[in-house]
């Protein structure tokens, strides 16, 4: 029985990662971070996804990244862009995936798990630096220097199975594995009931993915 910590945001990508890890027989410990994000509805979505897709447990850890601000997702004074943007958008949260992977690593070491699964994607994505393959490789290298397990000759592996997939490919794979995407929330500014704006970068990537996959879009828009 191989154990894994799976980072679960409540969005489409990480739900697919959990389904893929379960399909490979992994015993999955799901981890969500309540980081002061605008879209708190995603935590409720993460709970539904963890339960439905068979995680053996689900922890939600608060970490107040809004104490630093600097992102449209953590500072209400910065508006979420709607429509096309260029470069790295203001929805970028500085060091977010590094904080998330660090916490996943800490929990994994305590559990005796040696796999971290994360739903980063470097094709249909918002251009965030901490979603690229070279970043994931650097974190895996760090993980094996940072830990007792690494020093003692064991190896942590960071699995990012979506990294080279299009959004349409991700959705087709999830549908094949029985993921109910109606449970997920991707919108950067979803309302309290998880209804999406349909206009932010995350909504547009998601909607285009369903269209290209030829799968009916189950997203609830407001």
Q: How far is the CB of 120 from a copy of itself (least distance, A)?
A: 12
From edge to edge, which strands make up the β-sheet containing 157-159?
A: 27-34, 3-7, 115-117, 157-159
27 binds a copy of itself (CB under 8 A): no
N-term to C-term CA, the chain:
42
d(C-alpha 115, C-alpha 95), whole Å: 21
Which residue lies nearer to a copy of itself by CB, 29 or 39? 29
Reported as type and span, the H/E element at residue 28 is strand 27-34
d(C-alpha 14, C-alpha 6), whole Å: 8
222 binds a copy of itself (CB under 8 A): no
Which residue lies nearer to a copy of itself by CB, 153 or 216? 153
Q: Which of 23, 54, 57, 129 is in the footprint of a copy of itself by CB under 8 A?
A: 129
Q: Which of 6, 28, 91, 135 is in the footprint of a copy of itself by CB under 8 A?
A: 135
56 binds a copy of itself (CB under 8 A): no
Q: Which of 3, 40, 47, 69 is in the footprint of a copy of itself by CB under 8 A?
A: 69
Which residue lies nearer to a copy of itself by CB, 104 or 179? 104
Which residue lies nearer to a copy of itself by CB, 48 or 132? 132
Q: How far is the CB of 140 from a copy of itself (least distance, A)?
A: 10
Q: How far is the CB of 100 from a copy of itself (least distance, A)?
A: 8
Of 184, 188, 190, 189, nearest to 217 by C-alpha is 184
Integer-rounded Cα radius of gyration of the chain: 16
**Residue 90, Ramachandran bin (φ over 0: left; ψ between -120 and 50: alpha; else beta):** alpha
Q: Which of 132, 195, 199, 220 is in the footprint of a copy of itself by CB under 8 A?
A: 132
Site for a copy of itself in 154-213 (CB under 8 A): none
86 binds a copy of itself (CB under 8 A): no
Task: Assess contact for 124 and 208: CB atoms under 8 A.
Answer: yes
- Dihedral angle sign, alpha carbons of residues 191, 210, 86, 32: positive
Other beta carbons within 10 angstroms of residue 207's beta carbon come to 18
94 binds a copy of itself (CB under 8 A): yes
Q: What are the distances in angstroms from CA 205 to CA 98, 99, 182? A: 23, 24, 16
Q: Which residues bind a copy of itself (CB under 8 A)?
A: 59, 61-65, 67-70, 88, 92-99, 101-103, 105-107, 109-110, 129-130, 132, 134-135, 138-139, 141-143, 145-148, 150-151
């Amino acid at each position: 029985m191989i154990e894994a910590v799976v980072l679960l945001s409540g969005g489409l990508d990480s739900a697919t990662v959990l389904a893929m890890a379960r399909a490979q027989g992994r015993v999955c410990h799901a981890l969500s971070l309540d980081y002061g994000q605008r879209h708190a509805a995603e935590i409720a979505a993460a709970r539904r996804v963890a339960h439905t897709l068979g995680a053996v447990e689900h922890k939600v850890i608060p970490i107040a990244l809004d104490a630093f601000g600097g992102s449209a997702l953590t500072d209400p004074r910065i508006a979420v862009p709607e429509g096309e943007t260029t470069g790295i958008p203001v929805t970028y949260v500085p060091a977010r995936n590094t904080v998330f992977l660090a916490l996943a690593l800490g929990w994994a070491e305590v559990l005796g798990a040696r796999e971290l699964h994360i739903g980063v994607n470097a094709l249909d994505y918002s251009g965030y630096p901490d979603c690229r393959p070279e970043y994931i490789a650097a974190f895996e290298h760090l993980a094996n220097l940072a830990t007792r397990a690494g020093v003692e000759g064991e190896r942590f592996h960071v699995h990012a199975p979506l990294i080279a997939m299009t959004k349409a490919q991700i959705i087709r794979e999830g549908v094949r594995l029985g993921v109910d995407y109606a449970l997920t929330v991707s919108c950067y500014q979803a309302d309290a009931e998880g209804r999406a704006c349909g206009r932010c970068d995350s909504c547009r990537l998601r909607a285009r993915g369903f269209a290209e996959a030829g799968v009916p879009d189950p997203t609830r828009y407001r």
